[in-house]
């Protein structure tokens, strides 16, 4: 993937205002306190920082105001995909983002091979190389890894809800990592009622399609993904890339709970689902209409609710500070 420079290296600084906004997940404070301290100390040697915690600071407009100053260079997200999602939807995508992975699955960091240690993150920031990757817009919100509705949304949002109820639960999810999503999926497959509903999927014309396509399916749920894997190891769209100008819609076929478990375990083992277990649709613009009101998650967070989800690719909108060889 081609890289570009974000400008000044770590050894140069401007003191008229914050150089870097640090968006710090409240969960990361409990999971990686020593790494956070080392990161902040390493950055403060050369930069003026503005540290913002979405969990305790009530007014995101203050973060947006700080990041509108001329000296502001980029945002460092210390957290997971959900924290990055919050930051990019709050700040927009005019300036680059760096990520220190401290979430549950860290799907973007895994896909982009981002450094997971303090020294590597500081080195990536010092070199200042960026990769431009696509985002997906659902109704009024952006996400960058995977989203979806129905069963996948219930699985992802259960993790988010459980984790928000105290430090012990944060640490439990932190220890489980991506396995937490798989355990949530097993529980939801076995216990969720009304497991299927009718979906109407319209793929709108784009450079890849001369005419709209329309599918009506009975399904327990769907994923909209910008990369091949999610929740750590689940391999749902092997050919998906996050810089190719399209996204993939992975629609589960109507199936028994036993068969859904078999599909889940197969995806975890790196075996793509069998023909007939799913439909895989590639699109640049699409509309998914659910017969019943549904929740749509993206990057592990609730992004939309309702019956109609309008999806659009936003090409190379996110400038991500990354390894030189990414």
Higher pLDDT, 156 or 42: 42
Spell out the domain ranges in the chain. 4-133, 141-316
Distance separating alpha carbons of residues 258 and 18, to the nearest angstrom: 54
Residues 6 or more apart whose CB falls under 8 angstroms from that of 249 comprise: 201, 222, 223, 224, 279, 280, 281, 282, 283, 286, 288, 311
Contact present, 148 and 296 (Cβ < 8 Å): yes
pLDDT of 107 above 80:
yes
| Mean pLDDT lowest among 2-6, 32-36, 159-163, 280-284 | 2-6
Higher pLDDT, 11 or 189: 189
- Residues 179-191, mean pLDDT to the nearest whole number: 74
Strand partners of residue 296 = 149, 304
pLDDT of 168 above 90:
no
Contact present, 323 and 121 (Cβ < 8 Å): no
> pLDDT value at position 317?
96
Among 98, 105, 76, smallest CA distance to 225 is for: 105
> pLDDT value at position 1?
44
pTM above 0.95, yes or no: no
pLDDT of 5 above 90:
no
> pLDDT value at position 302?
94
Taking only the tens place, the pLDDT of each residue in 199-247 is 999 998 766 556 668 889 999 989 999 988 777 677 777 788 899 999 9
Burial class (CB in 10 A: 0-12, 13-18, 19+), 33: exposed
Taking only the tens place, the pLDDT of each residue in 220-230 is 989 999 988 77
Q: What are phi and psi of 277, to 5 degrees?
A: -80, -15
Model confidence at 262, pLDDT cuts 50, 70, 90, reads confident
Six-digit token string for 90: 């709050």
pLDDT of 17 above 50:
yes
- When the pLDDT of each residue in the chain is averaged and rounded to a whole number, the result is 82
**4-133 adopts what CATH topology?**
Rossmann fold (3.40.50)
Percent of the chain topping pLDDT 90? 42
pLDDT of 184 above 80:
no
- Residues 187-200, mean pLDDT to the nearest whole number: 82
pLDDT of 41 above 90:
yes
Contact present, 310 and 284 (Cβ < 8 Å): no
> pLDDT value at position 326?
43
> pLDDT value at position 208?
57
Highest averaged pLDDT of the listed ranges 110-114, 280-284, 317-321: 317-321
Decide which of 3.40.50.300, 3.30.420.40, 2.40.100.10, 2.60.200.40 is the CATH code for 141-316: 2.60.200.40
Sign of CA dihedral 239, 216, 304, 176: negative
Taking only the tens place, the pLDDT of each residue in 111-137 is 888 999 999 999 999 888 899 999 999
pLDDT of 173 above 80:
no
- Residues 61-76, mean pLDDT to the nearest whole number: 86
């Amino acid at each position: 993937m081609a890289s570009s420079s974000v400008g000044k290296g770590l050894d140069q600084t401007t003191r008229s205002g914050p150089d870097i906004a640090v968006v710090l997940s409240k969960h990361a404070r409990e999971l990686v306190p020593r790494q956070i301290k080392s990161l902040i100390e390493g950055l403060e040697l050369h930069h003026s920082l503005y540290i913002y915690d979405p969990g305790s600071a009530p007014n995101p407009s203050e973060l947006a105001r700080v990041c509108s100053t001329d000296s502001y260079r980029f945002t460092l997200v210390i957290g997971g995909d959900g924290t990055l999602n919050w930051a990019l939807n709050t700040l927009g995508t005019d300036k680059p983002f760096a990520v220190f992975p401290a979430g549950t699955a860290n799907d973007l960091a895994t896909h982009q091979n981002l450094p997971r240690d303090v020294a590597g993150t500081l080195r990536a920031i010092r070199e200042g190389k960026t990769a431009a990757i696509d985002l997906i817009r659902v109704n009024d919100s952006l996400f960058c890894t995977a989203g979806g509705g129905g069963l996948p949304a219930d699985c992802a949002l259960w993790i988010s809800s459980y984790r928000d109820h105290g430090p012990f639960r944060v640490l439990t999810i932190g220890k489980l990592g991506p396995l937490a999503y798989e355990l949530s999926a097993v529980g939801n497959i076995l216990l969720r009622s009304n497991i299927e509903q009718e979906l109407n999927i319209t793929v709108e014309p784009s450079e890849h399609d001369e005419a709209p396509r329309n599918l009506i399916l009975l399904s327990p749920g769907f994923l909209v993904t910008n990369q091949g894997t999610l929740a750590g190891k689940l391999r749902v769209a092997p050919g998906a890339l996050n810089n190719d100008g399209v996204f993939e819609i992975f629609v589960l076929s109507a199936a028994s709970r036993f068969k859904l478990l078999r599909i889940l375990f197969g995806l975890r083992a790196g075996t793509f689902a069998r023909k007939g277990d799913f439909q895989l649709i590639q699109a640049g613009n699409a509309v998914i209409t659910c017969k019943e009101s549904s929740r749509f998650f993206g990057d592990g967070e609730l992004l939309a609710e309702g019956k109609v989800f309008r999806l659009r690719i936003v090409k190379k909108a996110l400038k991500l500070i990354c390894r030189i060889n990414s």
